[in-house]
Amino acid sequence: MKRTFPLLLAALLTSPALAQSIRIVRPSTPPPATTTTAPDLTDVPAGWRVVAGRVSAPSTVRLPAGSIVTVAIQDVTDGRSPSTLLEVSFPTTKLSTPYQLQYNPVRINPRRDYVVTARVNDARGRLLYRSAARQELPEGRAAVLNLRVTPR
C-alpha cells in the first residue's frame, strides 16, 4: 500500500498540470471563401458553351421550404423589357448554391447584349431575392460567373 500511494498521488497531481498546458489555437486567417472551379465539360455537346458559378447573398441565408432559384440569360439590347434566351429553375434551401447553364452559341447574336440574372422565389412565387447588378454573359467555352443576389 505504501508503494501505490505515492504513485497514485503523483498521477493525481500531474494530470491537472498537464491539462493546464493544453492550448487551443484558432487560425489567424479565416477559411477561404467557397470558390467555383471551371465547369466540367464531359457532358456538354461539342461546340456548346457553359456558364457556371454560385448564386449567393451577402451572407449565408436559409430559405423557406419550396424556394426556387431561377438563373437566366437575357437579351437586354433594346433597353426595354429583356427577352429571355435561356432560363433554368431549381429548388434550394440555402444561398449560396451552385448553378450551371449550357447553351448553343449559335443562338447568340454578336450584335446584341446579353446578361446573366438570378432570382429567388418562395413556394408561392413571391420574389425574395434578385440579382444585385447586371452581369454580362462571359465569352468562352467554359466560364465561371458568380451571381450576387440581394433582398427584393
What percent of the chain stands above pLDDT 90? 59
| pLDDT tens-digit map of 1-11 | 566 666 555 65
Q: Which domain holds residue 71?
A: 49-151
Residue 25 binned pLDDT confidence (cut-offs 50, 70, 90): very low
115-127 burial string, b = 16+ CB within 10 Å, else e?
bbbbbbbeeeeee
Taking CA atoms, 130 is separated from 6, 7, 70, 106, 119, in Å, by: 72, 69, 9, 28, 4
- At residue 123, the pLDDT reads 95
**CATH number of the domain within which 145 lies:** 2.60.40.2990
- What backbone phi and psi angles, to 5 degrees, belong to 13? -80, -30
| pLDDT tens-digit map of 115-144 | 999 999 999 999 999 998 889 999 888 999
Mean pLDDT calculated for residue range 41-50: 84
- Is there a domain that residue 24 lies in? no
Residue among 89, 85, 84, 114 at smallest CA distance from 99: 89
pLDDT tops 50 at residue 24: no
What's the length of the chain? Answer: 152
* Overall domain count for the chain: 1
- Is there a domain that residue 65 lies in? yes
- At residue 28, the pLDDT reads 46
- Is there a domain that residue 98 lies in? yes
Q: Extract the runs of DSSP E, i.e. beta strands, from the chain.
A: 49-56, 61-62, 68-75, 83-91, 94-95, 97-103, 114-121, 127-131, 135-136, 142-144, 147-151
- Is there a domain that residue 27 lies in? no
Give me the chain's average pLDDT, please: 82
Task: State how far the Cα of 109 lies from the Cα of 126, in Å rounded to an integer.
Answer: 33
- Is there a domain that residue 35 lies in? no
- Is there a domain that residue 86 lies in? yes
- Is there a domain that residue 141 lies in? yes
- Is there a domain that residue 19 lies in? no
Mean pLDDT calculated for residue range 3-32: 52
